[in-house]
Structure 1
Amino acid sequence: MLAGFNLKQMKSALETSVVKEADEEELDPLLKVNESDDGLDDVDTIRQEHKKPSRSRIRQEECESTTNSYWQASELEGRGTLGPTEAPDIFALGMCVIEAFSGGKVWGKRDQNFGKPTSTAKIPPRPPALDDACQWTLVERMCSFDPKARPSFTEVLATFQVFAEDEEKANADLSSSKRRRKFRHYSSRQTHPRATSASIACALSEVQAWCDEASESSALNYQLYERMDDISARLEVMNAEDTIVHLPVLAELIFRFRDMLQRHVNENPLLRLAATRHVVKTIVELHGELDALMDRLQLIRSGASIHSWHSQLSSYREQLWKRLRLSLALDAQTLSGELEGEEEVSLLGALLAFEAKKRSASYSAHDLELLQISLVKVEETYQLMTPGPTPSFRTTESKTMLALSSWFISPYEVLFNEWDAFSRGTFGSVHFGTWMNSNVVIKKMIAFEESGVVIPLRSRRGEKSNANEPTEEPYKQFLDEMSVWSQLKHPNVLKLLGACHVGQHQFIMCEYAAEGTIDSFVSSKPVEERGACARRVLHEAALGLHYLHTQNVVHADLRCSNILIDAEGVVMLADVGFSSLKTTTRPNDTTSDTSRWVAPECLTGETPTFASNVYSFAMCAIEVVSGELPRGRGTTDTAIRANIRKGLLPPRPANCFSDSEWSLIERMCCSDPNARISISDAVKLLA
C-alpha cells in the first residue's frame, strides 16, 4: 500500500510544496545528485526492514552510469538549471514511489532498461509489492512522459489522503484481530471502493469501453458517460477541500454505472432488451444524482449541452422501447434462433414474467399486453427446444412461466461487481451489492448442472436421513428451499430478499449485516462491556434458533461466522441450511474449518438435527464469551475430531463463565443427543 511509506509525512511535504512552490528559487533538490540518505528515511521503509548495505552504496554500485537524470522528467533534459515547477516534481515523486516498492531496484538487475535515464526509457515495471491497481494507475499518471497528463499536486495530495485513511482503517482492523489471536478468512463488513482520481479514471475507462457493447442502449450510455467524464475533469481542478469531499460521491455514481454495464455487456441482446425498463430507470436516477452533485459544487449546467440531458434522453428512451417492441413481436421460430439454448429461453421467460407480474405499473396497457403475448411465444420456443411437457420443477406452482415464484428477483435489478468477492467457497462467491438503493449481500452460485454441488435442505428440516441416500434433484430442491426460506419471518433470522434460479445469474440475495460476525462484534467492544454484550447477543441468537426449530428447520452450519449483527446491533442467524451450498462429500468429511463446531453424531454420518444445533450453539457461546476458537487455534483437526468423538468438552476458559453458565454449556454438549437440553429451555436460562 502507498501508506506503507509513511503517507502522513509525505502528505505534509506535499502541502508544504504547494505553499512554497511559487517562492522557491533554489535548484529543485530532487534534480540534484544526492550523495547521502538524508530525506529518504520516510520513503524507504521497505528497505529498512532488512539490514543490508546502505542505500547510497547500493545506488553507487547499481547505478554508476546514472546521473541526476535518473529521476529527471524528460522535459527537463538538456535545459540546464531550472527552477522548480509542479509537473517535474510530480514525475520525481512518482519515481520515488516506484523506488520504495521495488526495494531500490527500480529496473531490476536483468532489465534491459537498467541504468538508463527515464527520459529515454519506458516507465519502470510495476513492483510486485505495489499490488493495488488504483494506486498503480495513479503512479503511472504521475510518471507520464507528457507533463500535461500528470495529475496536479492537489489531486495527488487528496488521493494520498484517501489511501492513508484506508490504510489506517485496515491497520486498526488488523490490530483488533490480533488482540483476538484468531484467524479470519475474510471480513463480512462492507468496504466501499476507494474514491480517488485514479480509481475514477479506471472506472471511466471501463465504462467508455463498454458503452458500445450494449449497442441498443449505446446512445443512453454515452450521454451519461460524457457527463461523468466532464464532472470528473472539472472536479480535478477545484481546491483540495472540495475534491476530497465530493470525489467519493462522484465515484459511487460511476461505480454503479460501471457495475450495471458489466452485467449487460456479455448478455444476449434479447435479454438486455427485456431489462429495458430497469436500464432506463437506473440511467434517469444517475442523471438526477449528477444534477444534485453539480448543484452542490455550484457548477453551471445550462450552458453545457452535455448536461442538458432531458430532451435527448426522451428521444433515446423511445428508440430503446421501440427496439424492445420489435423484438417481442418475433415469432417463436425466430426467437429460438436468436436465443442460445434452454438456459437463455428460461431466463427470458423469467424476466418477462417478472416485468408483467411485479413491475406492471411501469408499463402502458398496450405494452403490458405485448409482454403477455411474448410470454406465450417464449413458452412455444421452449417447447420447440425441449419436446414434451414442461418439467414441473421449472416453476413452483404450475407449468406456465407466468406463475413466477414470489421470491424471484430479476438479476438486472441487483448491482454488484462480479469480480470483487469478499468470500469464495465450493458453492460460489459472496459479494456486496445494492438493490432498490439498499446495501445487500449476494451469494453468486455455481450452476446447478455442475457436478458435485447440491443444496442440502429437505433432509435437514427436522427429518432424519441417511447420508448415503441419493440427493434430490438440485434444481427442484433449490426451488423448494427458497420457498421455505422466503416464509421465515423473525428479527433474529437473516431475511431472504430474493433469488434468481435461471440462466447464468443464479444467486441468493440477503440482508446486509453491517456489524459483521457475532464474535468480532463482541471483541470490538471495550473490555469492561464484553461480558454483558456477549450474553445479550447469545440470547438473541438462541431466540433465532428457537424460531427455526418451531418452523421445523434445522440449521445446517451453525457457527459464529454464520451469526451476524446488523447496523442496529440486532443478531441474525445466516446461512440457514440452504444458503450455504455444500459439495456431495459425506458429513463426516467435514473440514477443519467447521469440525470444531460439529456435534459428535455428525462426525459419524448423521445429518444435523435439533440436538446437534444445540451442541453447535454451545461451541459458539464458548467462542463469543472467551474470544478464542473452541478447542484452541493450534489444535490439529485430527485431535479435534478425536476429542469430539470421545465426548470431551473444550477446556473451561478462565474467568469467563460462572458455574451455572458452564453447567448449561455441559448440558448442551451431552454426548447423547437425546440427553441434551432443548433450545427452548436454553432460551429461558439465557434470559
Structure 2
Amino acid sequence: MGLVRRRNFGSLDFHDADPLESSDIFAFGLAIFEILVKDRSPDKIATRNSNFDNLPDVRPDFIKRTEWDLLLRMCTPDLVDSTSMPDVVHQLSVLARRDAPMTTRLPHNTPATVEDVSGYEIQTLGMTLEATLHEIEQICDETDCGSLNNVNRPVCDRIMDVYQQLKASPDPVAMDLVENFTLIVLRFYDMLDQRVLGGTSVVASICASGTVAGKNYSFHHDIDMLLRTSSLHNTAPVHNWQTQWKEARRRQSKTLKSCLEEPEPFFRQMSNDIERSEAVALIQFAASTQLGPSTVNKSEDPPLWFIPPYQVQLGRHIADGSFGAVHEGEWLDTDVVVKQVLLDPSDKENWEQFRHEADLWFSLNHPNLIKLYGACHQGRPFFVCEPASRGTLASYLKGKNRRLIWFAISDVALGLQHLHDRGIIHGDLKGNNILVCDNTEGLSTAKLADFGLSIVVNHIEAPANDENGALGAFRWKAPECLLGARPTFASDIYSLGMCIIEAITGQYPWGNTMPDSVVVRNVAEMQSLPPRPECMNDDEWHLVTRMCRYEPHRRIPIGAIINCAFNFTSKKW
C-alpha cells in the first residue's frame, strides 16, 4: 500500500519463516511505535522527524507494558520467533477493547443467574443455546473441506467442553458468564453459517484455509480469556490448542505450497472451465501474496483490485438491479456492499468489459464517488465497494432544508465533474444511483455509484420496476438516449437535471404514476420537460432548463452547475 517505508532487513534472520509476512510484521511494529511516539511523547518537537529502524532497548514511560510486549514480539531481530499476523490482529483488538469506554455494566447489587443453561435463549437466532450448539456440531460434521475442517473442529470441541461444564454446574450459573460464552458461540455460528462467495473446489478450499484459520485463532483466544476469568477448568486435552493449531497451519501451508508449485494435479479435479478459471486466479493471487510478486510471471499477476471470493461473506440482500443482486457483506472484517453481476459465461466481450470497468473504477479516488475496494472477475463476478450508511439521496433528503439539499447536489456535481475530467461517462445517473455516506468527520456526503455498470449489462434487459418501487430509468434519460444514441457527457448533464427535480420535490421526474411510454413520447417526440414543480423558485428552475435543453450542445457545462449549486447553498431560504 506504500503506507510504511520499506526497511533494510538484510541483517535479520529469516531461517524458515515466511519472509514476506515476518518483514511486514516487523515494519508494522515499527510503524505502530512511531505513531505512539509522535502521539504520546512529551517532547513533540524532538520526535517530529524521528525515524526508527529498531525499537529502543528500554520501554518509554508513555508506552504501556502490554503494548510494549506486543511490539517486542513484532520487532524481534530473529524473525523465526516473531509473532504471527493473526496474533497481532487479536492482540490489537484486545488493546482496543481495553481502551474503549464501558457503556453498560450489570448492576452489582442484583446478581443474575441462569438455572437451566441448555434452555438459555439466543434471541437473535430464536434458538436455545443447546439447539444452536447442536446445529454447530452438525455443520462441522457435514463440512468436508479437508484443511478447513482441521481448524474449525478444535474450536467446536472446546466450545462443547465449556458448555458441558456449565451444564454440569450444581449451582445456578452467573448470567454474565453465560452471556460471554453465548457471544463466542454466536460469533462462531455466524462464521460457519455465512455464505462465502466463490466455488467449493479443492483449490478454493486450500486457498481459503489461511483466512479461516486466522478467524479461529481469535476464537481460541476468546475461549482462553473466558476460562481464565471464571471458575471453569481448562484441563481437558481439547484446550491445549496451540500445538494442534500450529500443526494444522503447517499442513495447510505445505498443501498450499504444493498447489502453487504443481497446480496441474489440482486442476484435473475441476469439473468445468468456470471452476478451472477461478482456480487459476486463486493460485495466481496466492502466489503473489504468499511467495511475493517476483515469483510470479508479470503476465500472470492478478489485477491489483482482485479480491478472492473466500474473503467475502454475503449478508442481508438489499436489492436487485439490472446488473444483478446487491448484498450487505463483510470483507476482512470490514462492512461492505457486494454487487454480484450477471454475465453470460460465453460472452467474452462482456467479461473483458467487466475487467475494464473494474480497472476504471478502482483507479478513481474522490470524496464524491463510491469507493471500489476490489472485485472478482472469475466464477460469478462481483464488485466490493463502500457501504452507504445513509441510503439513497432521495430518502436522505426527505424533510431536509433547501440549503442542505443544494449542498448534496453540489456534492453530486463535483463527483460527476471528476468523472468527466477523466473522460468517463456515468451513463446511468438517477436518484437511486446517488448514495449518502458519513465521512471521517461524521458529516454526510453524497456520492455517485454504479458509473459505467450500464455498459456492462448491455445484453441484460432491465426490469421496468425494481423491488424498491423505482420506475424505469426512462425518466432520467436524455432525449437522444431515448432515441437510441449512446450516453455522452451532455446526456449526463440532462440526467443530473432530472436528479435535481427528484432531490427537491421528493418525486420522480414526471411524477410517480405516468407510464414510461408516455414519458418517452413527451421527452423524445414532444421535446418537453416535466411541469415546473411549485416548490422550485425561478433561479432553480432556470438552472434545470439550461441543463436539460433538447439539443445536447446547448446544455451548460458541469463547472457552471457547480457554481450555481454553491451559490444556492449560501442563499437565505
Q: TM-score, normalised by structure 1?
A: 0.57
- Residue 556 of structure 1 is matched in structure 2 by 427
- What's the CA shift string for 1:552-587, capped at 9, x where partnerless? 111121111111111331221100113774242699
> Which residue identity lines up with residue 202 of structure 2 in the other structure?
P
Provide the C-alpha distance between the structure 2 equivalents of 1:616 and 1:225, rounded to a whole number of angstroms.
54
Contact 1:204–1:229 under 8 Å retained in 2: no
Which residue of structure 1 aligns with residue 33 of structure 2? Answer: none
Closer/same/farther in 2, CA of residues 440 and 290 from structure 1, 3 Å limit: farther
Q: What is the aligned partner in structure 1 of residue 192 from structure 2?
A: 257
Match of 2:506 in 1: 627
Aligned partner of 2:220 among 274, 277, 287? 287
Does residue 404 (structure 1) correspond to residue 302 (structure 2)? The answer is: yes
Q: 2:155 maps to what in 1? A: 224
Contact 1:200/1:254 (<8 A) preserved: no
**What is the correspondence of 1:323-342 to structure 2 with a 5 Å cutoff?**
323-328=255-260, 330=262, 332=264, 334-342=265-273
1:269 alignment partner, one of 179, 196, 202: 202
Does 2:324 match 1:428?
Answer: yes
Structure 1 SS opposite 2:423: coil
Give identity over the alignment, percent: 28
Change (3 A) 1:240 1:485: same
* Alpha-carbon distance in 2 for matches of 1:253, 1:661: 54
2:235 is the alignment partner of 1:313: no
- Say if 1:664 and 1:263 are closer, same or farther in 2 by CA, change over 3 A: closer
Counterpart of 2:388 in structure 1 is 513
TM alignment of 1:303-452, pairs within 5 A: 303=235, 305-328=237-260, 330=262, 332=264, 334-360=265-291, 372=295, 400-401=299-300, 403-417=301-315, 420-449=316-345
CA deviation string 1:242-279 (max 9, x = no partner): 7779856753443133327x558x61213311333323
CA contact under 8 A between 2:323 and 2:453: conserved in structure 1? no
Deviations 1:639-661 (A, max 9, x none): 2222222232222333x322211
CA distance in 1, matches of 2:321, 2:133: 28
Distance 1:594 1:233 in 2: 58
> What is the distance in 1 between the residues matched to 2:472 and 2:166?
48
Contact between 1:493 and 1:574, CA under 8 Å: does it hold in 2?
Answer: yes
Are residues 1:542 and 2:413 paired? yes
Contact 2:354 2:456 survives alignment (8 Å): no
1:476 aligns with 2:356: no
Unmatched runs of 5 consecutive residues or more in structure 2: 1-114, 567-573
Q: Report if aligned partners of 1:587, 1:607 keep a CA contact under 8 Å in 2.
A: no
The separation in 2 between residues aligned to 1:359 and 1:348, in whole angstroms, is 16
Deviation track 1:492-548 (CA, whole Å, cap 9, x = no partner) reads 01111111112x24211111111111111122xxx4x43222111111111101111
Preserved contact between residue 201 and residue 270 of structure 2 (Cα < 8 Å): yes
Shift of 1:318: 2.3
Distance 1:423 1:585, change over 3 A: closer
Q: 1:248 to 1:558 in 2, by over 3 A?
A: farther
State whether residues 342 and 380 of structure 2, in contact with CA within 8 Å, keep that contact through their aligned partners in structure 1: no
Structure 2: distance between partners of 1:429 and 1:680: 34
Aligned partners of 1:199 and 1:580: how far apart in 2?
49
Contact 2:322 2:462 in 1 (8 A): no
**Alpha-carbon deviation of 1:351?**
1.7
Give the direction of change, closer, same or farther, for the CA distance of 1:603–1:329 in structure 2 (3 Å limit): closer
Q: In the alignment, is the contact (CA less than 8 A) between 1:195 and 1:248 conserved in 2?
A: no
Residue in structure 1 matched with residue 401 of structure 2 by the alignment: 530
TM-score by length of structure 2 reads: 0.67
Deviation of 1:229 after TM superposition, in Å, equals 5.3
3-state DSSP class of the match of 1:620?
helix
**In the alignment, structure 1 residue 575 sits paired with structure 2 residue 450:** yes
The residue identity in structure 2 corresponding to 1:628 is Q
Match of 2:531 among 645, 651, 656: 651
Offset, 1:289 = 4.6
What secondary structure is seen at the aligned counterpart in 1 of 2:408? helix
Match of 2:540 among 623, 638, 661: 661
Equivalent position of 1:208 in the other structure: 138
Q: CA deviation at 1:425?
A: 3.5
Q: Distance in 1 between matches of 2:165 and 2:541?
A: 64
Greater alpha carbon shift after TM alignment, 268-277 vs 553-562: 268-277
Give CA-to-partner distance per residue, 1:450-481, whole Å, 9 cap, x none: 56xxxxxxxxxxxxxxxxxxxx8112222222
Correspondence 1:113-192 to 2 at 5 A: 152=119, 155=121, 159=123
Cα 1:583–1:243, aligned 2, differ >3 Å: closer, same or farther? farther
- 2:21 corresponding residue in structure 1: none
Deviations 1:283-305 (A, max 9, x none): 2234335555x379847463454
Aligned to 2:365: 489
Q: Which runs of 5+ in 1 are unaligned?
A: 1-147, 160-193, 362-367, 377-397, 452-471
**Structure 1 residues 242, 288: closer, same or farther in 2, change over 3 A?**
closer
- Find the aligned partners of 1:631 and 1:207 in 2 and give their Cα distance: 56
Contact 1:196/1:248 (<8 A) preserved: no
**SS of corresponding position for 1:570:** strand
Rg larger in structure: 1
Q: 1:230 to 1:588 in 2, by over 3 A?
A: closer
- Given that 2:118 and 2:128 are in contact with CA atoms closer than 8 Å, whether structure 1 keeps it comes out as no
TM-superposed CA distance for 1:681, in Å, is 0.8
Corresponding residue for residue 51 of structure 1: none
User: By how many angstroms is 1:408 displaced?
Assistant: 1.1
3-state secondary structure, aligned to 1:556: coil
Cα deviation digits, residues 400-459 of structure 1 (max 9, x gap): 32x321111111222225xx52222343211111112211111122244156xxxxxxxx
Q: Which secondary structure does the structure 2 equivalent of 1:339 belong to?
A: coil
Kept in 2: contact 1:204–1:254 (CA 8 A): no
1:319 CA drift (Å): 2.8
What letter corresponds to residue 312 of structure 1 in structure 2? Q
Cα distance, 1:483–1:652 mapped onto 2, change above 3 Å = same
Secondary structure, counterpart of 1:421 in structure 2: strand
Secondary structure of 2:320's counterpart equals strand
Question: Could you list the per-position Cα deviations for residues 204-254 of structure 1 after superposition, in whole angstroms to 9, with x for gaps in the alignment?
Answer: 726733553212332311112334556678899867787779856753443
Moved more, 241-250 or 643-652: 241-250
SS at the partner of 2:529? coil
1:217 match: secondary structure: helix
* 8 Å CA contact 1:203, 1:258 repeated in 2: no
Q: Say if 1:538 and 1:351 are closer, same or farther in 2 by CA, change over 3 A.
A: same
Q: 1:353 to 1:588 in 2, by over 3 A?
A: closer
Question: CA 1:331–1:356 in 2, change beyond 3 Å: closer, same or farther?
Answer: closer
Q: Residue type matched to 2:318 in 1? A: F
CA separation of 1:514 and 1:287: change in aligned 2, threshold 3 A: farther
